[in-house]
Amino acid sequence: MSQSDPRRAIARTDVLLASPPLAAAAARLGRSSVRAAVAGAQDRARRGEIDPEEVAAAALAALPARASSLTPVLNATGVVVHTNIGRAPLSRAAVEAVLDATGYVDVELDLSTGARGRRGTGALAALREAVPAAQDALVVNNGAAALVLATTALAAGREVVVSRGEMVEIGDGFRLPDLIASTGARLREVGTTNRTHRQDYADAVGADTGCVLKVHPSNFRVEGFVSAAGLAELRDLRRPDGTRVPVVADIGSGLLAPDPVLPQEPDAATALRDGATIVTASGDKLLGGPQAGLVLGEQATVQQLRRHPLARALRVDKLTLAALEATVRTAASPVREALHATAEELRPRAERLARALGRDVVPVEGRVGGGGAPGVPLPGWAVELPVETVERLRRPASPDVPVVLARVEDGRGLVDVRCIPPDRDDDLLRALREALGTTGV
């Protein structure tokens, strides 16, 4: 190698890794990925594709923007609780609570005495305050976990009485009969697909009954000759020895109190008032919080679940507890805002975007999503785009442009502003401009 050989001028890996920008990148993204990017850039310099002094910059340019491969998405689908993009976006208050909880935190410590405390008391207190009818609360990993824990603790080796009208599949492999079978409880089906009466339950309850389960059929509707026994009719079912049969109500969506926008959607307060012994629900559907499973209700029954060994395997981490408490205490969330946004509020936002792009607005119907409130339309407004543009929005050419998930309906691309936070409208506009410009429309 001669002195003038440019390859001699390529900086060594350890020198490059010690340079401030690459050292900072290594702290953020991990040393091995930065080392690989440096090696790639050195190879390019050896092949003469870049100058030796450009190696550090080329390595930096080749690195991803963040350590996680999860890509933030602007939700222009109009579907509020969209499972494929992480259901509920967290509120600012919840995000701040999560950040505070990322370090050491008193999640299981009483700072006033220095003794060990009960885990997650703040989140549990917030839930009890939000639902005064609940004497006690418990938080587990998700709605399915809450249901598994309830059936295991109350009915393993015994029977769970369920209406044939509630033998539901929630989605993504969640089939109620399979889930109950997995707990070692036996399913005792009563009634018919369209009609189940109190007497059907009463006839099935016996010495071997662990609990009655009422499941909200959240993702479909049956109409016509339909009847289902309400919780109030099931509250006093008794075994032959006179003991009361606990009634578990899986409400799914996680509404803590009634919401006028969704009059058909069950809520925890009403279910408990009507006679449910405990209610189970998800944290990241209509409550708008982190993924979690909530159990609310009678103290003795919640205690029975808390003391079951399975509870330890299903417990949530400090970040979930932090986000959940902040969501419940502020009673505000992006899900709530998107759900309650009216067509009149959404129209000027869609029109401003459309004007800037020389496109048209169209009235659309958003959806609650997440398997909830089927058939409840959410009237709103969207910017209409060619279908090819919708595809481009998902894969922007520049890393500085946010990824946008829009929807295609009747051969049109639709950018529904309902689930876009208003302070992101300009980011959305940038993404739309880029996608339209590069598709040549």
Ligand X SMILES: *Cc1c(COP(=O)(O)O)cnc(C)c1O
- Residues found near ligand X in the complex (CB under 6 A): 142-144, 170, 174, 215-216, 218, 250, 252, 282, 293, 371
CB of 172 to ligand X, least distance (A): 8
Nearer to ligand X, 216 or 418 (CB): 216
Burial of 40 (0-12, 13-18, 19+ CB in 10 A): middle
Determine how β-strand 361-369 pairs with β-strand 79-81: parallel
CB of 102 to ligand X, least distance (A): 23
Query: Is the CB of residue 187 less than 8 Å from the CB of residue 168?
Result: no
Nearer to ligand X, 172 or 410 (CB): 172
Nearer to ligand X, 266 or 380 (CB): 266
CB of 57 to ligand X, least distance (A): 45
Please state, in angstroms and rounded to a whole number, the distance separating the CA atoms of residues 128 and 145. 20
CB of 130 to ligand X, least distance (A): 18
CB of 144 to ligand X, least distance (A): 3
Nearer to ligand X, 42 or 151 (CB): 151
Please state, in angstroms and rounded to a whole number, the distance separating the CA atoms of residues 265 and 257. 10
Nearer to ligand X, 8 or 175 (CB): 175
Give Cα separations from 92 to 56, 97, 316, 398 (angstroms): 36, 9, 21, 27
DSSP one-letter code for 53: G
Nearer to ligand X, 76 or 147 (CB): 147
CB of 293 to ligand X, least distance (A): 6
Query: Is the CB of residue 380 less than 8 Å from the CB of residue 345?
Result: no
Nearer to ligand X, 163 or 218 (CB): 218
Nearer to ligand X, 170 or 319 (CB): 170
CB of 372 to ligand X, least distance (A): 6
- Sign of torsion over alpha carbons 331, 334, 340, 344: positive
- Count Cβ atoms below 10 Å from residue 246 Cβ, excluding itself: 23
CB of 138 to ligand X, least distance (A): 14
Token couple for 50: 């870049």
Q: What is the DSSP string of 18-52?
A: HSHHHHHHHHHH-HHHHHHHHHHHHHHHHTTSS-G
Q: Which amino acid is at 40?
A: G
Q: 378: which strand partners?
A: 366
> What are the residue ranges of helices labelled H in 251-361?
268-274, 299-307, 309-313, 318-330, 334-340, 343-357
Nearer to ligand X, 42 or 142 (CB): 142
CB of 308 to ligand X, least distance (A): 18
CB of 146 to ligand X, least distance (A): 8
Burial of 377 (0-12, 13-18, 19+ CB in 10 A): exposed
Query: Is the CB of residue 352 less than 8 Å from the CB of residue 315?
Result: no
Burial of 441 (0-12, 13-18, 19+ CB in 10 A): middle
Please state, in angstroms and rounded to a whole number, the distance separating the CA atoms of residues 168 and 216. 9
Nearer to ligand X, 109 or 174 (CB): 174
